[in-house]
């Protein structure tokens, strides 16, 4: 088992990465206030992993109540959040209850937001079961639900007490979901870790072939990058915004198509291509490095073109981005592989050109 730490003073927590961790109830028992937990999961993950987790908890004398939600990004909304609150209240969960998120990023974001707000805040533990959740969403405390007008618009920062990533759970993950997770992995290489980007270029085939050693290394290096950024800037006043590379475009794709048609990672993949092409168009990024970025995203089996929503629609949706300040759009762009920066006042005609270049009619 590998252990990383997100250093946030008294709220510091461990990210544990390894095989078979789901069966080690002691890893959860160490961080719960009382022997009562509520497990939030979904209809796909529950039949695969819920009873194993319940058994591991029960062996530690921990009583658990399961709240099983419908599966999908389309359900990441306030209605489903209410279903979680109903379950917590019916189960007489109190302030000593720990909420456990068992699933991908959708479950993690919703369970985390429920934990942030239930009785004004209870503890939660992340048990991510997708690659995307193990490399990104389970770490850092961003929790939220979507609004029809924008992604993750209603949420809170609420850090987990622990992240437990059992890499064995990836064996049941569909290939499309594995590829979606690789988008966020590539993101770390692009924004701050050129060595990791080189490593990904060399090992993309093995990662797609699910080599367990390579997957573990990719998870660990991704989490190490994210842990450092979150420790430096927990609430996104500065450097944390770089984790949004490709997301201003990607979130527009997700909202514009109606949540769920494109996976988050797919939208981020196409969004990072748009950001790279825009960076090149503005003269910040060389064409050679831009093509390397696009090639790795393509090699991961991710889309490198976006849906043809029309530049006006993209820009209207992008106006809801959380990085907008006083009506000014701010975008994460690339100076080089491993070097990103946030830019305000990018001319709208250049943004339109990059979108047009990356969309197929």
**Where would I find the H helices in 193-300?**
194-208, 212-232, 247-257, 264-281, 287-299
Exposure letters 245-280 (e unless 16+ CB within 10 A, then b): bbbbbbbbbbbbeebeebbbbbbbbbbbbbbbbbbb
In whole angstroms, the minimum distance from the beta carbon of 358 to ligand NAD comes to 21
The reply on whether position 322 binds ligand LNCXM5UN by CB under 6 A is yes
Q: List residues with catalytic annotation.
A: 120, 142, 184, 226, 236, 240, 244, 247, 251, 264
* Smallest distance, ligand LNCXM5UN to C-beta of residue 272, A: 11
Do the Cβ atoms of 184 and 104 come closer than 8 Å? no
- Residues 227-256: x where in contact with ligand LNCXM5UN by CB under 6 A, - otherwise, as a string: ---------x---x--xx--x---------
Tokens of 178: 């594995």
**Partner in contact with 240, chosen from ligand NAD, ligand LNCXM5UN, none, beta carbon below 5 to 8 Å by kind:** ligand LNCXM5UN
Site string for ligand LNCXM5UN, 83-122 (x = CB under 6 A): ----------------------------------------
Number of residues located near ligand NAD, criterion CB under 6 A: 30
What does 102-149 look like in DSSP terms, one character per residue? Answer: EESHHHHHHHHHHHHHGGG---EEEEE-SHHIIIIITSS-EEEEEETT
Are 129 and 163 contacting, i.e. CB atoms less than 8 angstroms apart?
no
Q: Distance of CA 118 to CAs 90, 103, 123, 151, 159, Å?
A: 13, 20, 10, 22, 14
Q: Give the C-alpha separation, 122 to 356, whole Å.
A: 46
| Closer Cβ to ligand NAD, 160 or 281, answer by number | 160
Q: Containing H/E element for 156?
A: strand 150-157
What is the distance between the alpha carbons of residues 262 and 10, in angstroms, rounded to a whole number? 38
Residue 258 is assigned to a ligand binding site: no
271 binds ligand LNCXM5UN (CB under 6 A): no
Q: Which residues of this protein are in contact with ligand LNCXM5UN, per CB under 6 A? A: 136, 140, 142, 151-152, 184, 236, 240, 243-244, 247, 322
Residues forming contacts to ligand NAD in the complex (CB under 6 A) are: 42, 44-45, 48, 71, 73, 76, 103-107, 109, 129-130, 132-133, 136-137, 140, 142, 152, 169, 172-173, 177, 180, 184, 264-265
Binding residues for NAD(+): 71-76, 105-109, 129-130, 142, 151, 169-172
């Amino acid at each position: 088992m590998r252990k990383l730490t997100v250093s946030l003073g008294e709220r510091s927590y461990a990210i544990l990465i390894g095989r078979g961790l789901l069966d080690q109830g002691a890893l959860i028992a160490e961080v719960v206030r009382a022997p009562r937990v509520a497990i939030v999961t979904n209809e796909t993950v529950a039949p695969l992993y819920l009873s194993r987790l319940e058994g591991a908890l029960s062996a530690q004398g921990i009583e658990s109540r399961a709240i099983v939600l419908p599966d999908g990004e389309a359900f990441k909304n306030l209605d489903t959040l209410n279903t979680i609150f109903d379950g917590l209240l019916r189960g007489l969960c109190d302030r000593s209850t720990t909420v456990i998120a068992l699933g991908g990023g959708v479950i993690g974001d919703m369970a985390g937001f429920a934990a942030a707000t239930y009785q004004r805040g209870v503890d939660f533990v992340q048990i991510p079961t997708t690659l995307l959740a193990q490399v990104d969403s389970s770490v850092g405390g961003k929790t939220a639900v979507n609004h029809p007008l924008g992604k993750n618009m209603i949420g809170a920062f609420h850090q987990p007490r622990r992240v437990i990533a059992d890499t064995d759970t990836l064996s049941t993950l569909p290939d499309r979901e594995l590829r979606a997770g690789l988008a966020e992995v590539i993101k770390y290489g692009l924004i701050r870790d050129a060595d990791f980007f080189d490593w990904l270029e060399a090992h993309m085939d093995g990662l797609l072939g699910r080599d367990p050693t390579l997957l573990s290394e990719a998870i660990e290096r991704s989490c190490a990058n994210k842990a450092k950024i979150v420790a430096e800037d927990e609430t996104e006043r500065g450097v944390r915004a770089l984790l949004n590379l490709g997301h201003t475009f990607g979130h527009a794709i997700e909202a514009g198509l109606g949540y769920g048609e494109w996976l988050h990672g797919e939208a981020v993949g196409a969004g990072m291509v748009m950001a790279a092409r825009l960076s090149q168009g503005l003269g910040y990024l060389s064409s050679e490095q831009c093509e390397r970025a696009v090639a790795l995203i393509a090699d991961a089996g991710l889309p490198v073109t976006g849906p043809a929503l029309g530049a006006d629609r993209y820009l209207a949706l992008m106006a809801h981005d959380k990085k907008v300040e006083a009506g000014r759009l701010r975008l994460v762009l690339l100076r080089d592989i491993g070097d990103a920066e946030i830019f305000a006042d990018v001319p709208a005609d250049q943004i339109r050109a990059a979108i047009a270049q990356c969309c197929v009619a």
